[in-house]
Amino acid sequence: MQIIIAEESGFCYGVKRALELVDEYLKKGLKFDTLGPLIHNPFVVEELKSKGVNPIDKLEETDKKYVMIRTHGVPPEVYRRAQELGITLLDATCPFVSRAQEAARKLSEEGYIVVVVGKRDHPEVLGILGNVRGKAYVVCEPEEIRSLNLKGKRVGFVCQTTFRHDVFARCVTEALKVVAEIKIINTRCHTTERRQNSVLKIADETDLTIIIGGRNSSNTKRLYELASMKGRAYHIESPDELKEEWFENAEKVGIAAGASTPDWLVEKTVEKIKSFERRS
């Protein structure tokens, strides 16, 4: 059995950077928590806890002087609230997300009605929305555009960094039927695109694909969706979930990992699959 790992797989730039910042601050002797789980992977979150870095839901919950903002970013009011509470924020917002926040702010300052294409309750989307100074909407499918009153309006579009290109484009297409003007700042992260193409490629070349990543990770779920379109695919959070029968008669197995999945989880997954082979 041949195991092929997707070319673009595992930690993305923003996640790597966030974890490097954690190490850097810990080395400096800083004690801090993270506002929400730092990244969408339970193993990484557990590892951080063991180092004294705990996820909190609200700034008020911490007993430390420092709190880290995770890759998804936060709305501006969190920065204001931190100041009121005397908490120093350590900002691990992914630079691509910061760019999306700035884009939304700029569009609203230029007088555009802002449409954020993304998941309504995703923390990144809430952070982007918080930066809009005028009217704003969140849509996650083209049909929703029709119910907004955009006829003859000037509309500014941004996109959740990891959102689907095709849905983003279809939302723009729908708006184009009625609006006077559209300005789109392309806030999709290019890694996402490459990662998704990479999964499609290995799913095409193999008999089944294993997608590794947190159950609450949007980008991992999307990788699973794409792989399923091409053939048999399984989404696991941990190698323990692998089942021997999945690999019966399989000659080629593809593996891809979400943007929050550490390399060691990929390695353990490969080992486990190989152990099935030895047994058979």
User: Which one, 10 or 142, has the nearer CB to a second copy?
Assistant: 142
| 163/224 with CB nearer a second copy | 163
What is the smallest separation between the CB atom of 161 and a second copy, expressed in angstroms? Answer: 14
* In the complex, minimum distance from the CB of residue 196 to a second copy, in angstroms, rounded to a whole number: 12
- Spatial contact of 186 and 237, defined as CB atoms under 8 Å apart: no
Residue 180 or 229 with smaller CB distance to a second copy:
180
Looking at the Cβ atoms of 165 and 243, the one nearer to a second copy is 165
Instruction: Output the smallest distance, CB 175 to a second copy, in A.
Output: 9
Separation CA 170–CA 172 (nearest Å)? 5
d(CA 30, CA 147): 49
What kind and span of H or E run contains 3? strand 2-5
| Residue 45 token pair | 């979150």
Burial degree of 63 (CB within 10 A; 0-12, 13-18, 19+): exposed
Nearest Cα to 41, choosing from 76, 16, 64? Answer: 16
Instruction: Name the site residues for a second copy (rule: CB under 8 A).
Output: 165, 168-170, 172-173, 176-177, 179-186, 193
For 57-153, where are the E strands, in sequence order? 66-69, 88-91, 113-117, 136-139
Task: Label each residue of 126-173 as H, E or C.
Answer: HHHHCCCCCCEEEECCHHHHHHCCCCCCEEEEEECCCCCHHHHHHHHH
Is 164 or 235 the residue whose CB approaches a second copy more closely? 164
| Amino acid sitting at position 26 | L
Both tokens of 202, joined, read 């290995």
Tell me the closest approach of the beta carbon of residue 93 to a second copy, in angstroms: 20
Coil, strand or helix: which one is 76?
helix
Closer residue to a second copy in complex, CB, 158/255 = 158
Write out the catalytic residue numbers. Answer: 124
| Count of beta carbons in the 10 Å neighbourhood of residue 92 | 24
Q: Residue holding tokens 């290109």?
A: 165
Closest distance to a second copy from the beta carbon of 122 (Å):
20
d(CA 28, CA 198): 38
